[in-house]
Every structure is written in structure tokens, then in C-alpha cells.
Amino acid sequence: MNEAQVNDMIQRWVSQQKSPYPEDYKQFQRIGSACISQGETAQLLKFIQDDNNKGIVKSMGCTLLSPLLCQILNKEKNYNHCQTAFAYLTETCCSKRAFRSLLELIKDTNPGVISETTVILTPHLQTVVLRLNADQAVCVGQSLSSLHSQLSRLPVPYTSEQEDLYGLGRCLFALTAFIRPFVEKVKLNSSKWVTAKEDEELRVELLKFCMRSLREPLLEAHLCRNSTSPLWMFANDIMMTLCEVQGPLPDILFFNSLRKHISDNDQSVESRACVAYLLFVQQITTDSFPAVFSPVFILQCNMQYIDQMLNRCMLKTSNHSGIEGFIVKNIRNEVEFCLKYGNKNKWFLGPELSLLLELVLCFPHGSETDLLNNMDKIMESLNLLRYLLLRGKELTIHVIWTELCRFRNEYVKMLRVCLTLSRAYYSSQLKSLQEDRKLKVVFFCMFQVLQSAMVTFDLMESLIFRIEEITEERIKI
């Protein structure tokens, strides 16, 4: 399409009284995208800022948000023009259309640029939502839900030493800035005798967001008190927001009848457990917690949260082979108890047992897992697997035999790879040690350690052989 044809089309759009047709939107986007790709963003910016084109831009300008975002993410030489054009469109386009367009951009975010996209779009999304007169609470809820779902795809840095390579911290700052005007609105209107329906809906959406954020990422985060880390600051912001939109924290933690808009499913309990942890352990917002409750009452009320945190996190986050081995041994004992008449428990029989086995029968670092450091857990895992295979007849009734065989195949296969690599490594260490006997004491200690490692590998291999024998016997039956 040449320049004269483009000018004729623009003139037609300017002069027409009716709403644009669907093909007009496509044509406008095609022309705008061509300008952007050819580096003519200065001319495009001049066009959309021209008062004569206000009508066109208001109705069809949203179609340019996607190509502009691509240029901003790529940080091309026309970056500033694209930024200015993007901001202008979100301020002048039809607010409902702009909201839908931005929400689609968030939902379609490429996994490799989640943090960059979130940081870029969040302030513009806030601008658009603040322009909405109707259904603002619903739009805030949809925005927060979409943004949080993208953040949940980013890995959480578990220790302060780990670098936040994926930009989770920047996203958290952007989210905190996004909710601030809406929190202030709720605070302002909460002082009134009668709360409007829209304000109550907005409060509920903010409360839901806080509870989601407590569960993810804060429940899995490593927090250092009084630090300047993004996660610590986000935890403070969420707890303060919770106090501002929900009211007294005891309402959430202790009193079932007052937990409005919060269901009692596992996810909700985890969120409240995180509130208890941040309040009583990290002492965030303790100044807002009433001092009238006795220590005994607080401990009793928090026991369900302590129980929830231990059940949820111990196996995954202890990072101690001895503790993990002890937990695996307890799982075996519980399965044995549940197989006895009248003791059936859904968590140790049926599909729920598969979830536990998925946590147990795995290697933290794949084929590079250190078998010696993880010896306690691996030995107990092999014993658990052997026991379950021996009790195959009872487990067949509970429909987990197929899953158990799958776990056995995957676990044993990976363990064999680990054993092969570990044997080769420790054998080479033994050989090097025997060739270089400088200090007798050091040699003797090192020799014992390496010999012990080889014996451990033999034990693991013998258990693997026994597991395979049991499996073959069961298949024949």
C-alpha cells in the first residue's frame, strides 16, 4: 500500500461517523505495525498525538499496543518513541478496550520475558484501571489474578545468597505500586458509615490478592529480618495491606466466624499460616496485634498453622538427608499401619500416596546427585519401595500398583546412573590416593572414607537387585 492510499484511508476514518468495522481495526494495526517495524516511530507518535486523529486513536489505537511492546522489550533504537506512544495510547484509548488489550498481553507473556513484561505493563495497566468508572473492582481482581499467575512461573530465590536472575524482585515492586491507589481508596471509604458495594468488592479483591501472595511466593521465600531484599519488603507491604483492607489480624487467624471471603481449603490455611509466621516469627506488623491474648491462647490457635507448615514443607525444604530419611521411614510405618483392618487413611493409600512417592522417589540434582550426602534418604526410599512392592497384593486393591511400578522404573533407572558415575569418581579418588601417600594419617582417614563410600554403593545396589527380584515375582503371579 503506497502513501497516497494510506492517506486516503486515514481521511476516510477521520470523516466517517459510524464505528469502525472489524476490517478497519486490522488495517489500522497493519499500517501501524509497518511504521514500527520500519523504524518510523517518530512519525507514528506525531500521528497519534495529532488532535485531528483523536477519534481514530481512541477507537483503534489499542491495536498498536502489542507491536509497540515488542519494540520496547527488544530495546530498539526507537525505544523512547515507543515508550511515549505506548503511554499516550493507554491514557487516551477507550479504557475498556485498552484494559482488554493489556490483559491479553499479560496472559500471552513469553516465559523468557515475564519480569520485563510485568514491569513495563503494570504502570500502564494501573493507568487504564484508574480511568474505569464502572466495574473497577472486577478489573482490579482480573489484573491482579493475571499478574500473579505470571509471577508464579518465576523461581523463588530460597536463600539471600542466590541471585534473583529472573527478576522476581522487580515484579514485586511493580505489583506493590499497582495496588497502592486502590488500597488508599479502600482506606478512605472504610471510614464512612455505609460502604458502597463497589468499595466492598474492591476490598475483597485486594484481600484475595494478599492471600495468594502469602501462599506464593512468600510461603516459600527465605526472609531475613530488617533486610532490604525485595521479598522482605514485599512481605512487609502485604502484611500492611492486609491490616488496611481486612482490619485486625486476629479476625483472619483465630476466629472462624469472622473469616469472610476466605474459604477453609488447604490453600487458605497455608496463606493464614504464612500470616502467623510473618507476624509471630518475623514480627512484621506486631504493633498492630492486640496484646490482650494470652501466650497459651496464641500457641493453641497457631497449632493448626504449625502443623500445616510442617506437613507441607519439611520433606521439601529441610535439605538434611537424615531428617528426610526419618520422614520417609515414618511414611513406611504409616502405610503399614493403614494396611491393617480399620486404619485406612487416604494420604497413605490410593492416589494421595502417589503424591508422597513423587516427593520421596526423586533426586534433587538428577544424575549429579551426591549419593553419600543423600545416603540416609536414598536408603530409606529403597526400603520403602521394597516394602511397597512386597505388599503389592494389598496395594493393587487401592489402585496404585501401576503408579508404583512407574516410580520404581524411573527411580531405579536414575539411581543406576548415579551409582555408575559415583563409583567411577570414588574409584579414581582411591587410585590417586594410593599412588600419593604423603601423610600416613591423612591417607588412612581418606582411605576409610572412600572405602566406606564404595560399601554404601554396594548396599544400594543390593537393594536395587532385591527390588527387581520382587517386581519379577509379582509380574509372574
pLDDT tens by residue, 382-418: 999 888 888 876 665 555 677 788 888 888 889 999 8
Q: Are residues 413 and 462 in the same domain?
A: yes
Q: Quick one: pLDDT band at residue 18, thresholds 50, 70, 90?
A: low
Question: What would you report as the CA-atom Rg of the chain, rounded to the nearest whole angstrom?
Answer: 30
Tell me which residue range forms the domain holding 460: 338-476
Question: Is the residue at 127 inside a domain?
Answer: no
Write the burial class of residue 264 (CB in 10 Å: 0-12 exposed, 13-18 middle, 19+ buried): exposed
Report which residue type is found at 173: F
- Residue 31: inside a domain: yes
For residue 148, give the H/E element and its range: helix 136-151
**107 closest CA partner among 73, 142, 155:** 142
Instruction: Answer for the pair 363, 311: CB distance below 8 angstroms, yes or no.
Output: no
Q: Is residue 57 part of a domain?
A: yes
* Domain membership flag for residue 123: no
Fill in the amino acid letter for 303: M
Domains contained in the chain, number: 3
* pLDDT computed for residue 259 by the predictor: 46
Q: Is residue 298 part of a domain?
A: yes
Cα–Cα dist 376/24, whole Å? 68
Residue 136 has pLDDT above 60, yes or no: yes
The reply to whether 139 and 275 lie within a common domain is yes
Average pLDDT over all residues of the chain: 81
SS3 for 371-429, per residue?
CCCCHHHHHHHHHHHHHHHHCHHHHHHCCCHHHHHHHHHHHHHHHHHHHHHHHHHHHHH
For residue 12, the tally of other CB atoms under 10 A from its CB is 10
192 and 230 assigned to the same domain: yes
Supply the DSSP symbol for 286: G
Residue 397 falls inside a structural domain: yes
- Is 206:179 a contact under the CB 8 Å cutoff? yes
Q: Quote the percentage of the chain above a pLDDT of 70.
A: 83
Instruction: Read off the pLDDT of each residue in 299-321 and give the average, rounded to a whole number.
Output: 72
Identify the domain boundary among 30, 65, 93: 93
Is 120 within a domain? no
222, 139: one domain: yes
Whether 325 maps to a domain, the answer reads: no
**165 shares a domain with 51:** no
What pTM value is reported for the model?
Answer: 0.67
Residues 295 and 224 in one domain: yes
* Same domain flag for 182 and 257: yes
How does DSSP classify residue 156? P
For residue 86, is pLDDT > 60? yes
Same-domain check for residues 303 and 355: no
Higher-confidence residue of 63 and 9: namely 63
